[in-house]
Amino acid sequence: MAATVFYLDDIPEPGAVAVLDGPEGRHAATVRRIRVGEPITLSDGRGLLADTEVVAAQRDRLELAVRNRGRVEPVSPQVTVVQALPKSDRSELAVELMTEAGADVIVPWQAARCVARWEAKADKGVGKWRAAARAAARQSRRAYIPEVTGLHRTPDLLTAVRAAKDAGAVVAALHESGTAKFTELPWDTAASAMLIVGPEGGVDEAELTALAQAGADVVLLGPTVLRTSTAAAVALGALGALTARW
């Protein structure tokens, strides 16, 4: 596959011409200055990849001859990251890092101790996270763009944890008070995984107790205390090494 990846919702059959326009086409033609004859990999963000070649280029639009296409199967276990809202200057960085590290689903969480508050601007915040996930997926050449869900409050999260456990997931709440180690959980037999990352001020004790009662394992990720914006990426890296994801 070609090195440059761009996303197009509907990729035509081999032999047809695909049109890349809108923000993706503008980025390809104007920012990246891609020209006729250059190869591009198209993805629908849902696992389909296509090798293409640019046959026409305008300021904000490319026409691409589709040479071949194929599907990339999702890795297992699928991983949902529940991310407590970081401070605004590190919020999108957290999404970028976990996308590059392989998160499949990203859940923004309004935890009790979050400095950031999304009550009146949840749609705007989710939109920014989705844009950050898409850009990071392109940068890391992913065939799948992570799903970013709507804002979850703690009752919503507890419901999601119970549902995940009922479906056979391993659910890990990453916290310095954990007595078990992250590496001790049965990741190799998990149907899916959920990683819960708290805010800068730490997970509130009542929330931590409620998460454990809902079925989450409170675990220690490593010997140091990580920033909320980097913890998910570190955990995903460890999970990749512990399972068949890598």
The CATH number for 83's domain is: 3.40.1280.10
CA distance linking residue 227 with residue 221, whole number of Å: 12
Are 62 and 91 in a shared domain?
A: no
Residue that is last in its domain, among 54, 71, 88: 71
Q: Which phi and psi angles does 6 have, rounded to 5°?
A: -130, 155
Question: pLDDT value at position 169?
Answer: 97
Are 162 and 219 in a shared domain?
A: yes
Are 186 and 214 in a shared domain?
A: yes
Residue that is last in its domain, among 71, 96, 127: 71
Are 101 and 133 in a shared domain?
A: yes
Contact at 8 Å (CB) between 73 and 82?
A: no
Contact at 8 Å (CB) between 215 and 165?
A: yes
**Residue among 197, 189, 209 nearest 173 (CA):** 197
3-state class (DSSP) for residue 109: strand
Total structural domains within the chain: 2
- Taking CB atoms within 8 Å and a gap of at least 24, the contacts of 86-89 are 86/116, 86/199, 86/200, 86/228, 86/229, 87/115, 87/116, 87/200, 88/116
Contact at 8 Å (CB) between 204 and 113?
A: yes
Residue that is last in its domain, among 71, 96, 111: 71
Question: pLDDT value at position 2?
Answer: 46
Are 60 and 135 in a shared domain?
A: no
The rounded Cα 209 to chain-centroid distance in angstroms is: 27
Q: Which phi and psi angles does 241 have, rounded to 5°?
A: -75, -25
The CATH number for 48's domain is: 2.40.240.20
Are 220 and 114 in a shared domain?
A: yes
CA distance linking residue 99 with residue 129, whole number of Å: 10
Question: pLDDT value at position 1?
Answer: 42
Question: pLDDT value at position 3?
Answer: 60
Tell me 9's DSSP state: S
Are 127 and 158 in a shared domain?
A: yes
**pLDDT, block means (10 residues), the chain with 246 residues:** 78 96 90 91 96 93 96 95 92 96 98 91 95 94 96 98 97 93 94 96 94 97 91 96 92
**Residue among 160, 132, 156, 159 nearest 146 (CA):** 132
Are 96 and 186 in a shared domain?
A: yes
Are 232 and 137 in a shared domain?
A: yes
For 198, residues 6+ apart whose C-beta sits below 8 A from its C-beta are 84, 111, 113, 173, 174, 175, 228
Q: Which domain holds residue 89?
A: 78-242
Are 173 and 218 in a shared domain?
A: yes
Whose tokens are 């914006």? That residue is 229
Are 56 and 132 in a shared domain?
A: no
Are 93 and 141 in a shared domain?
A: yes
Give how far Cα 35 sits from Cα of 5, 58, 105, 125, 139, Å: 15, 9, 34, 35, 19
Question: pLDDT value at position 57?
Answer: 92
